[in-house]
Chain A
């Protein structure tokens, strides 16, 4: 039974506003689990989940792993390094071999856009996209949405500006889908050499200068600038990037209203964001990390067929709970 979300979570582009709200609402009761002394509920007891990471990741992989373990699932981590992948095994063969071992879910991170879709179309297990190339990173956007809702009490009507390398960012794409579906106003801001074609057609405003973004927004979601973008010639230098697009205390001081600053991590302090901002009162960056575990618990629970109205009950007591 996977009716609530479908078989897989590939991206927010294909979710309805109600499905997105359902995930956020389901995450609420799971937040509390992580605050317990014994951080474990039996909701996914007996389920086997493989974390298939073809691209290095610390934060996302650990967050998924905590989410799985706190739901009592059995988990296996497969990293591309040292696995059969390096011996030339194809993505589909890797997946089919895992499935032959009777797993229930795969969480996949891959450098190629479309890899999660590819896998989901070919195996029976549920597939959760933990970031595919430049396409989507749906659980990141969901935790961003939850954090905005926590902080501002709503998403509809909130003005959110994504700042930085939009061209190469799966976080930006997922955020644009999720935010626009829930009625937020969305803008993007960054160098035009890092702005994808046709982005305005997705219903977002393109802002040229970070000062304009700060004047306009309620929330800034500051994206990581990959260092290799400079080497590829998209921008002249990290120093200039900070000078022109860096989110600094001085710039934030000119904000006409209270501004919330987010960052999906990992941060390049002093490149896209000033340390004093990252650690300052505007920042909800660590709340995002905390919410990540709850949102991922909700996604795994719903994909496994968990009934949303029972999420609270599903938490149950850790020991001796029924499922």
Chain B
């Protein structure tokens, strides 16, 4: 059994208990033992000076793509989990659009075993809604949950059939898991590569209208009402989706939503000069959408931030805009972008950001973590929110480098990350190495 660890002198922010004070955190046997000012170190304890940092529950990302199995050249569960802890995330949920698709208990079990072997962050599999993500036949939710799945999703492949989505919401109730929903009306988005607006018109690129997302947001909110199922809307990108979400919450439906750091900070203008690192789905929208998303996150209309970490090989993005794949990596920039844009930008307080990046996502997906309550697993991050840093994609732990934030100066990064009381990322030590 590892020695007790005392994190001394930090500012402890634990949104699960509305705590924000100068305090120490004592970790024993992989769990939080005590939180309070002036804690003494037990015999044999390691004392770690964390003055100047914010000690918070480890960040939780409910939407990542780890590419294993199938595209291990782009990412593996091990490299993804390493990138996660470097970004301050102690738990991530892996989307099932692997090759083959994670649509059965054996595939879910493989991800669980690979993540246990890898260490670093906790990796929770999300199973597919439909077999092969083909949108026809329900996958075996029960067996997948038995093997460790925490949600179901056909992310990347919109569920075109309203009947299938209805059935998925109903059937998922048995296991009390959320259905994570990639909202896209495929006949409207077909062939589109960026937001349908002035920039697409200038660039001569086919657009994806906001309505392609909003139609499905509206449909699936209606289906959530019909079925009583738990609906989680992935990566909302439009102000119209925010309005639909607001009404759903006012009616008390079991609907939650996430937003990515890039949709909170970038607009369609990032696609100018055909930068394929600004190509993602849903696409970057307009300034008014960014403003609405920020306000919705602040008000809790959108529940949490998720990275939609989507690694792609260099060659794939080194292509004409039409030919490049959708998606960007995000695990190692998510907190820095969110802190710089939202907290320094005045949209959220730091405790609100940690609430939206840790406590709430853990709650929405029913995961341990998101709290520093004594007795909880010691998934902890010490965040440095003072020093600026420059995004250097070449130094990512992820296997992929496809980020639109390369070269950006950010504030806020993980100085120290602990999972189950073990130090899995130590920024100063890593810098010396």
By a beta-carbon cutoff of 8 Å, the part of chain A in contact with chain B is: 13, 90-92, 110, 112-115, 117-118, 132-136, 170, 173, 196-199, 201-202
Check B321–A112 contact: CB distance below 8 A: yes
B117 CB → nearest A CB, Å: 36
* Binding stretch for chain A, among B202-210, B359-367, B378-386, B397-405: B202-210
* Set B197, B204, B273: member contacting A134, Cβ < 8 A: B204
* Set A91, A114, A202: member contacting B203, Cβ < 8 A: A114
* Set A91, A92, A133, A198: member contacting B201, Cβ < 8 A: A198
Given contacts A90-B315, A134-B205, A202-B202, 11 further A-B contacts (CB under 8 A): A91-B319, A92-B318, A113-B205, A114-B204, A118-B274, A133-B205, A133-B322, A197-B197, A198-B198, A199-B201, A202-B198
Contact with A along B273-307 (1 / 0, CB 8 A): 11000000000000000000000000000000000
What CA separation (Å) do A215 and B124 show in the bound complex? Answer: 66
What CA separation (Å) do A114 and B196 show in the bound complex? Answer: 17
Contacts of A173 in B (CB 8 A): 201-202, 204
What CA separation (Å) do A114 and B321 show in the bound complex? Answer: 7
* Set A13, A112, A134, A202: member contacting B320, Cβ < 8 A: A112
Contacts of B318 in A (CB 8 A): 90, 92
* Set B196, B202, B315, B323: member contacting A112, Cβ < 8 A: B323
What CA separation (Å) do A135 and B207 show in the bound complex? Answer: 13
B278 CB → nearest A CB, Å: 12
Of all A-B residue pairs in the complex, the 6 with the closest CB atoms, nearest first, are A134-B204, A135-B204, A114-B274, A198-B198, A112-B320, A113-B204
| B200 contacts partner chain A, Cβ-Cβ < 8 Å | yes
Contacts of A197 in B (CB 8 A): 196-198, 200-201, 207, 209
Check A113–B201 contact: CB distance below 8 A: no
Q: 9 A-B Cβ contacts within 8 A?
A: A13-B202, A112-B322, A113-B205, A113-B322, A114-B320, A133-B204, A135-B204, A197-B207, A197-B209
Contacts of A92 in B (CB 8 A): 318
Contacts of A91 in B (CB 8 A): 319-320
* Set B197, B206, B274: member contacting A198, Cβ < 8 A: B197
A13 CB → nearest B CB, Å: 7
What CA separation (Å) do A44 and B319 show in the bound complex? Answer: 32
Check A202–B201 contact: CB distance below 8 A: yes
Contacts of B202 in A (CB 8 A): 13, 173, 202
* Set B197, B204, B315: member contacting A136, Cβ < 8 A: B204
Contacts of B209 in A (CB 8 A): 197
What CA separation (Å) do A91 and B322 show in the bound complex? Answer: 13
What CA separation (Å) do A110 and B321 show in the bound complex? Answer: 12
Query: Which residues of chain B from 329 to 382 have any CB-CB distance to chain A below 8 Å in the complex?
Result: none
By a beta-carbon cutoff of 8 Å, the part of chain B in contact with chain A is: 196-198, 200-207, 209, 273-274, 315, 318-323
Contacts of A198 in B (CB 8 A): 197-198, 201
Which B residue's beta carbon lies closest to that of A133? B204
Contacts of B201 in A (CB 8 A): 173, 196-199, 202
Chain B interface SS verdict (over half):
loop
Contacts of B322 in A (CB 8 A): 112-114, 133
What CA separation (Å) do A13 and B273 show in the bound complex? Answer: 12
Contacts of B315 in A (CB 8 A): 90
B242 CB → nearest A CB, Å: 20
Known: A118-B274, A197-B197, A198-B197. A110 touches B320 (CB 8 A): yes
A286 CB → nearest B CB, Å: 28
What CA separation (Å) do A97 and B320 show in the bound complex? Answer: 18
Known: A91-B320, A198-B198. A117 touches B204 (CB 8 A): no
Which B residue's beta carbon lies closest to that of A134? B204
What CA separation (Å) do A225 and B292 show in the bound complex? Answer: 39
Contacts of B273 in A (CB 8 A): 117
What CA separation (Å) do A202 and B204 show in the bound complex? Answer: 13
Contacts of A110 in B (CB 8 A): 320
Contacts of B319 in A (CB 8 A): 90-91, 118
Contacts of A118 in B (CB 8 A): 274, 319-320
Q: Which of A13, A90, A113 has the most chain B CB atoms inside 10 A of its CB?
A: A113
B274 CB → nearest A CB, Å: 3
What CA separation (Å) do A4 and B337 show in the bound complex? Answer: 40
B29 CB → nearest A CB, Å: 54
Check A117–B207 contact: CB distance below 8 A: no
Check B200–A117 contact: CB distance below 8 A: no
B68 CB → nearest A CB, Å: 26
What CA separation (Å) do A201 and B203 show in the bound complex? Answer: 14
Which A residue's beta carbon lies closest to that of B318? A92
What CA separation (Å) do A170 and B203 show in the bound complex? Answer: 9
Contacts of A170 in B (CB 8 A): 204
Contacts of B274 in A (CB 8 A): 113-114, 117-118
Which B residue's beta carbon lies closest to that of A137? B204
Contacts of A90 in B (CB 8 A): 315, 318-319
Check B321–A113 contact: CB distance below 8 A: yes
What CA separation (Å) do A196 and B273 show in the bound complex? Answer: 19
Which A residue's beta carbon lies closest to that of B209? A197
Contacts of B197 in A (CB 8 A): 197-198
Contacts of A112 in B (CB 8 A): 320-323
What CA separation (Å) do A90 and B323 show in the bound complex? Answer: 11
A181 CB → nearest B CB, Å: 14
A108 CB → nearest B CB, Å: 11
What CA separation (Å) do A112 and B290 show in the bound complex? Answer: 29
Which B residue's beta carbon lies closest to that of A199? B201
Which A residue's beta carbon lies closest to that of B201? A196
Which B residue's beta carbon lies closest to that of A201? B198
B287 CB → nearest A CB, Å: 14
B216 CB → nearest A CB, Å: 20
Check B198–A135 contact: CB distance below 8 A: no
